[in-house]
Amino acid sequence: MTDRLAGKVAIVTGAGSNIGRGVALRFAAEGARVAVADIARESGEETAALIAAAGGQAHAYALDVSDEAAVLETIGDVAARWGGLHILHNNAVYRTFAAPGAHPLLDFDAGNWRREFDVNVLGAAFGCKHAIPHIVKAGGGAILNSSSVNGLVGDLHRPQYGMCKAAINNLTMTVAALHGRQGIRCNAIAPGNIPRGGIDAHPWAKLDSPYAVADRHQIAPRRGVPEDIAALALFLASTRAASSPAASSPATAG
């Protein structure tokens, strides 16, 4: 490990599990102080404890990213606790699945879809809205958004998920366009399959495990792991990914 994020303060949402946990651990291992934000309090605390056990600095926040007042309060608390904010990774996700035999579009449940949009799209937008002033104040930094390959094509199984991720892609470009000149680099990461615990419990997984399907079609010799995404997130969060003097200002060097 290096210290590519030494002196930086980062928030990772959905950091109690899988990709978010991998990113939080890597950011901390690279010297960042990491706010582990997750709606599942115990999972977030577990990630923070793993970071502390590895010698890093973290604080767990129980946060529902769809609650704007809570997002505002959490971001303000992080900035006050550690004297600023440089990195935000909007990674939390809420997923719903059509019941076996139900048509993913024609039978969709509006309540489920609204909750997905609230968490997956508005949650990321709230994060950007309230983190950007802090990141600008700190002299610049990075925002990462967890997208998905499902946001680049029509999603046959979970149209609402693909729609959310397409919105995330557009949000990412919008933030980059509106705030790039203020030293904010905004990028989306669009993983393929990164297996996580519990997926096989979903009803449709019993029909044909999504990982079995992916294994049949993927070109890579192995499945992806959270550390793969964490390595990319680290690159994008550090100024190695910067291309302009503003983004490489001393305040964001790393």
Q: What secondary structure letter does DSSP report for 100?
A: T
Min dist CB 65 to ligand NAD, Å, is 4
Residue 226: both structure tokens together: 């959270």
Q: CB-wise, 18 or 160, nearer to ligand NAD? A: 18
Q: CB-wise, 146 or 160, nearer to ligand NAD? A: 146
Residue 146: both structure tokens together: 């967890």
Q: CB-wise, 7 or 224, nearer to ligand NAD? A: 224
The catalytic position among 61, 94, 161, 211 is 161
Min dist CB 64 to ligand NAD, Å, is 4
Q: Which amino acid is at 163?
A: M
Q: Which residues bind ligand NAD (CB under 6 A)?
A: 13-14, 16-20, 38-40, 43, 63-66, 91-94, 119, 123, 146, 148, 191, 193-194, 196
Min dist CB 153 to ligand NAD, Å, is 12
Residues 132 and 179 sit within 8 Å (Cβ to Cβ): yes
Long-range contacts of 240-248 (CB under 8 A, 24+ apart): 240/4, 241/142, 241/185, 241/187, 242/185, 244/180, 246/140, 246/180, 246/181, 246/182, 246/183, 247/140, 247/180, 247/183, 247/184, 247/185
Residues 26 and 227 sit within 8 Å (Cβ to Cβ): yes
Quick one: which of 135, 157, 114, 97 has its CA closest to 247? 135
211 is catalytic: no
Min dist CB 10 to ligand NAD, Å, is 16
Q: CB-wise, 32 or 122, nearer to ligand NAD? A: 122
Task: Tell me the catalytic residues.
Answer: 161
